[in-house]
A and B are shown apart, each in its own frame.
Chain A
Amino acid sequence: MSVTTLTLDEVSHILTRASFLEAEDPLERAKRLAKRKIALLFYESSTRTRTSFELAAKGLGSDTTLVSSLSSSIEKGETLKDTGLTLRALGAEAIILRHPNSGSPWLLEQETRLPVLNAGDGMHEHPSQALLDLRTMLNHLRPGVTQVGPETLAGVTVTIVGDILHSRVARSNMLLLPRLGARVILCGPPPLLPDVAVDAGPGIEVERDFERALAQSTVVMMLRIQAERLAGLQLDLEEYKTAYQLNGERLAKFAPTALVLHPGPIIRGLEITPEVADGPQSLILEQVHHGVAIRMALVERALTQKGGQA
């Protein structure tokens, strides 16, 4: 549901299982959740999250079914509650939900009493993304580490840049990483990053100057401007690019060794230039790759413990 509901022990368990399942023989792995039924309920479009959850669930042997808002009774006005109850009646044992409204996984869990995996809810959270981001960072900064604690990322500064206000990825990361000892710097213009963001949790700072933030960064996480959630907000994109675009020159000058992350989809030439996205510091495709392992661990966890949630 939210990274805040996961203890560090549970995070460690997920990371450990992700590595184990990733390395396991695929035929053995496919027996773990053989013929278990998992529904993917997607009210928003998705490439990475949907595909990797689906591959993860299938990799463990389960049967999956995809219900998306455009090809189902949701179009006819069926509520989330009724759609969830319908999926349960069809035998679904867990539901992976992506939804445009913040908090909808709680509603679905409350009404169906099934384990619900949050694949992104509105502007709220995207916990599995934060976990795969963590795995990506650990892979480079703390190779081999899967047991995490409050000091694991001590000395690491992660800067999240851009449209923080509308980003569920930003929220999940800013609420998770400081608990492992990382410093999180949020960077963006006031309309996309309100001052109150620093009070969202401990260990969060705001730095409006991108270059000053870059100079302190071990990891730079770039975000897309979510045009679909701007709600009438007018933004001068040229001005934005001047101040916040991650281009080769900036990266070389202020953060020549930083890891570059982006949850995707990337808009080349807006928040990030192609040379950076495709460059040697970019881990964007590695993030995508880690998604499958992390989501295998999450799906397994949801179906093998009572009321599993993440």
Chain B
Amino acid sequence: MSTLLIRGGHLIDPAAGVDGLKDIVLKDGRVVEVAAPGKAKQAEGAEVIDATGLTVAPGLVDIHVHLREPGQGHKETIATGTAAAAAGGFTAVAAMPNTTPTNDSPEITRWMQAPERGSSVRVFPIGAATRALKGEVLNDYAALKAAGVVAVTDDGHPILKDNIMREVLAQATRNGLSVIQHAEDTRMTQGASMNAGATAFRLGLRGMPPEAEYGLVERDIRLVTELVHAGATKAGHQPHLHVAHTSTAQAVAAVRQARRNGLRVTCEVAPHHFLLTEEHVGCYSTHAKMNPPLRSAADRDAMIQGILDGVVDAIATDHAPHAAQEKEVEFERAPNGITGLETALGLSLRWLHHEWKMPLGRVLSLLSAQPAALLNLKGRGTLAVGSFADVVIFDPKQEWTYQVRDSKSKSRNTPFDGWTMQGKVKWTISEGRVVYRG
């Protein structure tokens, strides 16, 4: 593999504590040198990327995407989904197991990572916690982990039975895997298609109450607490519960309290939950239908607060492509979810950094270093020497408009079409290969 020199850029690598002008040399898929401008020693014969005036950062890491393969290639393929990831500056994505069939096995895990899938960036499969996501029989975590799974979840099909969730947490802990829970007590959300409240009442739609989310988060934290008291940590691993796409103030508060109590409980927030509210459902726009739903303004504000004060560990997109014909239906019949890989950086920079004055390094950390650490993705989320040569290079000042018709994703279901973004990706480099050029 050729050598690449990224010259003249402003390197922000929060995990390594770097924030300044640096030249970087990439070789054989790894970072081999980070040097003062013009001082790189291993750049001989290197291909040069001129990053003058641009920000150079670790490639972004999204720990919550739906790539739809195997089985749902009409929505997205691993090739198209990861092309969208590359366009959005992501170099690593963790793929949810609600595929067809579900990712219950080492075979599917390996299939997803095979070169034949044509992936632009690194895909880390997340295994199904229980067989076919039914919440009944646990999968073989040791075998899944050996095949490359980085966490287990029944995403979209929350594990309601206490005894099963207890066993999932125990087995995952034994195997050093994180448990990701989509927190929704589905007994309280039957037939519901948006947040419960006055807006849902006015629109004549059944609502999902916030307690369906935070009630389950609190239950899960209780189970983690019990596991810790039972001495599970003696085996060497600490139980890790990760709450996917938190959307309610109370869920973030529960995570905050659990952390104060010394538990390893983490959470992520999706851009749509820190930017939009239930009012965006408007005239029944199916691009405002997702699960968890867009919530109240108070909940939205709590997501922003949680991000600013550090309780939130990661920004994750919950990239959920659906074919046009699937979304062009009655609101109540439309599937949940929106795409997100191409808009996460632009929205985060525009709102978290530019509007709400969060330091650039912290925004980038939420999009790379922290999610990588959360799922223990070694050598990702940093550009320290020896790390993977996963790089995003963007113009932090450039404003641009997202046009969904230009999307690399196979699907077009986004509420952010035509939105002004900040921070245009110029290059995305995955393990030393340029996978996107903007």
* Chain A residues proximal to chain B, CB less than 8 Å: 1, 79-81, 99, 101-104, 106-107, 111, 121-125, 165, 168, 171, 175, 194, 196-197, 199-201, 231-232
Contacts and interface: CB of A to CB of B under 8 A. Distances in A.
B259 interface: no
A231 B191 contact: yes
Contact of B283 (A106, A122, A196): A106
B332 interface: yes
B329 interface: yes
A175 B204 CA distance: 13
Contacts of A81: 328-329
A103 B193 CA distance: 12
The A contact surface, by secondary structure, is mixed
A122 B202 CA distance: 12
B202 A200 contact: yes
Nearest to B325: A79
Contacts of B204: 102-103, 121-125, 168, 171
A102 B201 contact: no
B197 A196 contact: yes
B203 A199 contact: no
A224 to B, nearest CB: 16
Contacts of A102: 203-205, 284, 331-332
B330 A111 contact: no
Interface of B: 190-191, 196-198, 201-206, 283-284, 325, 328-333
15 contacts: A80-B329, A80-B330, A102-B332, A103-B203, A103-B205, A104-B331, A111-B328, A122-B204, A122-B205, A125-B204, A175-B202, A199-B198, A199-B201, A231-B190, A231-B191
Contacts of A200: 198, 201-202
B190 A232 contact: yes
A176 to B, nearest CB: 13
Given A99-B330, A102-B284, A124 B206 contact: no
Nearest to B281: A103
A171 B202 contact: yes
B330 A101 contact: yes
B330 to A, nearest CB: 4
Q: What are the 3 tightest A-B residue pairs by CB atom distance, in nearest-first order?
A: A103-B284, A124-B204, A123-B204
Nearest to A175: B202
B198 A123 contact: no
Contacts of B330: 80, 99, 101, 103-104, 107
A129 to B, nearest CB: 14
A118 B259 CA distance: 51
A79 B325 CA distance: 9
**B191, B197, B284, B328 pick with most chain A CB within 10 angstroms:** B284
Contacts of B284: 102-104, 106-107
B188 to A, nearest CB: 12
A196 B328 contact: no
A231 B329 contact: no
Contacts of B196: 196
Contact of A124 (B190, B191, B203): B203
Given A124-B204, A194-B201, 15 more contacts: A79-B328, A80-B330, A102-B203, A102-B204, A103-B204, A103-B283, A104-B330, A107-B284, A107-B330, A107-B331, A123-B204, A124-B205, A196-B197, A231-B190, A232-B190
Contacts of A201: 202
A121 B205 CA distance: 11
Nearest to A1: B283
Contacts of A175: 202
A200 B204 CA distance: 10
Contacts of A197: 198, 201
B197 to A, nearest CB: 6
A25 B24 CA distance: 87
Nearest to A201: B202
A197 to B, nearest CB: 6
Contacts of A199: 197-198, 201
Nearest to B331: A103
B394 to A, nearest CB: 35
B382 to A, nearest CB: 47
A278 B333 CA distance: 41
A201 B203 CA distance: 12
Nearest to A122: B204
Residue of B201, B204, B283 most packed against chain A (CB within 10 A): B204
A107 B329 contact: yes
A11 B141 CA distance: 64
